[in-house]
Amino acid sequence: MRPLSIDTLTHKALRFGQLCMDRGTLYWTESRPDEKGRSVLMTLEGEVLPKTTNIKSRVHEYGGGSYLVSDGNIIFTNDTDQRVYFNDQPITTKEQGRFADFCFDAKRACIYAVRELEDTNTLARIGLDGTVIDIATGADFYAEPRLSPDGSCIVWISWNHPNMPWDNTTLTQWDFSSPPKILAENASIQHPMWTLNNTLHYLTDQSGTWNFPSYPLPADLGYPPWLLNMKRYCFHQDKIAAIATTDATDTLYLIDLKDKTHTEIETPFTSFNEIVSDGINLYTIASGPHNLPTLVSILPQTQIKTIRKSSDINLKKPSEPISINFGSAHMFFYPPSNKLYDLPPLIVSPHSGPTAHYAPTLNLTVEYWTSRGFAFAAVNYAGSSGFGKAYRNRLNGQWGILDAADCINARQYLKDQQLIDPTKCAIIGSSAGGFTALATITQTDAFAAAISLYGICDVKALCTCTHKFESHYNNTLIGTYSHSPIHHVDKIRTPVLLIHGSEDKIVPPSQSEAFYSALKARHIPCEYKLIEGEGHGFRSADAIKTSFLTQESYLKSVLELK
């Protein structure tokens, strides 16, 4: 079997997102690596907007909610200038701020949106003439403005430091004349949506999982909203179609809130990203153990049709994930798809977030390594989503401790089961996963190499320069700054590779530079690669290629692989 080529990894994999249904027409965005990551608005007929557009908002830096199609009108944020456009015409100026998560009010000829200025977030009304008026202020953050179908009132989500939106939010309603009133609080409340008869639904994690208040299921219908306007459920005929996550694995349900019943929609997929309905079919971005992300239509219990694939590659025998609970946490173990060694070298990979999770899906990054003879352990450490609220909150005050212990335990389990070569183990993490990777090697010499991709090294320093959205998040996680890897460099014996983007505004490259200098001062083997022009997470094909080739060369050298 031939290893997965670097060109296949970089040039052929599209990224789908932001589904929208308007007048029976399906819209979505797709990011194209061979166009330097440009995000394109698509329908079944093809690209909708001029090729000079790049649909991307930078609100909260992570973005999301960068466009809306309503009554045939296309509202979007263009990446190059962060201005709001209405049917190809810019209606805001750069000085008015950044906007996202749009809601169109045809009756009042305006758009409601989350507004972000340098130090302030508000909920704003944008007139089609470009005037901007704040309609809700005072909270640190706002999200999901949603107008009732009859136009009589609007609801929104807000939250304040030190909370993140998966910790504690408030749902507020305003009728445009009386003072706003709070509908729900003291929980993580998400995704308010109105039915056509003006009934409001939303999710809350008060029961221990994100669910509808009137019918809690033993699964998470929500997901940590790192991005704005994530669509985890939709109205479908007289029911609700929802994505439900249990033990990091997704299922689709049809839920009847009136009868308090639910039915599983059977599919071959194990992960779903967003869902919308045209009243007949459901549309979602689905992936599974044998499926890369694919835009599909689903006629419940009848048929599944492929609309667009993220990649045309056909892997004959990809590595299949094995779900393993190893005591302290959970992982998906991917054996080598190309057996080159009696016992394979191992890559332990803590996911980013840290409030995220690995799903049991075909993953080109994983396949890149398994096709080169590596085993791959995708670790869902304490603090991961997809296992309920209690598991998600376990990491608070223990970041760099429990997650590192789980990575050490994952390696030990695989060693005990004689599934890997214990002398050739590496740990690789990106962003928050990079923090975990570096924290892990301050507590053990069991790994022969560590790689941090745009990772955090010094939480205290990060809190002084990171963006507003996460400025208090790290304090909640870390408990004490002494957990930061930068304070334990003297304990490291493991060779380290650091890779960072020069334009990273979330975790600035100064983080990796400081760690590199500290390692060099102590004569610890280390390398540092700065990729010019890249931000947080590598998007362009050239940057992705540089990152993977650098990692591969490094591991072959340090692990002494043939």
Structural domains of the chain, with CATH:
59-230 (2.120.10.30), 322-558 (3.40.50.1820)
In this predicted structure, what is the pLDDT of residue 277?
98
Strand partners, 281: none
CA distance 479 to 367: 36
Give CA separation, 285 vs 305, 343, 364, in Å: 12, 36, 16
How far is 288 from 269, CA to CA, in rounded Å?
A: 4
Q: Which helix (H) or strand (E) holds 554?
A: helix 541-558
- Per-residue b/e over 282-298, b at no fewer than 16 CB within 10 Å? bbbbbbbbebbbbbbbb
Closest CA to 62 of 352, 351, 274, 350: 352
Which tokens in the block code for residue 161?
A: 């430091």
How would you write the pLDDT of the chain (562 residues) with one tens digit per residue?
A: 789 999 888 777 789 999 999 999 999 999 987 788 899 999 999 999 999 999 999 999 889 999 999 999 999 999 999 999 999 899 999 999 999 999 999 999 999 999 999 889 999 999 999 999 999 999 999 999 999 999 999 999 999 999 999 999 999 999 999 999 999 999 999 999 999 999 999 999 999 999 999 999 999 999 999 999 999 999 999 999 999 999 999 999 999 999 999 999 999 999 999 999 999 999 999 999 999 999 999 987 779 999 999 988 888 889 999 999 998 899 999 999 999 999 999 999 999 989 999 999 999 999 999 999 999 999 999 999 999 999 999 999 999 999 999 999 999 999 999 999 999 999 999 999 999 999 999 999 999 999 999 999 988 877 776 778 888 887 777 766 778 899 999 999 999 999 999 999 889 999 999 999 999 999 999 999 999 999 988 888 889 999 999 999 999 999 999 8
DSSP state string for 20-59:
EEETTEEEEEEEEGGGTTEEEEEETTEE-S-TT--B---T
Q: Which residue has the tokens 């054996």?
A: 335
User: Two tokens at 335?
Assistant: 């054996």
pLDDT (0 to 100) of residue 546: 96
Give pTM, 2 decimals: 0.92
- Name 498's bridge partners: 452, 528
Q: How many CA atoms lie within 13 A of 89 on its CB side?
A: 7
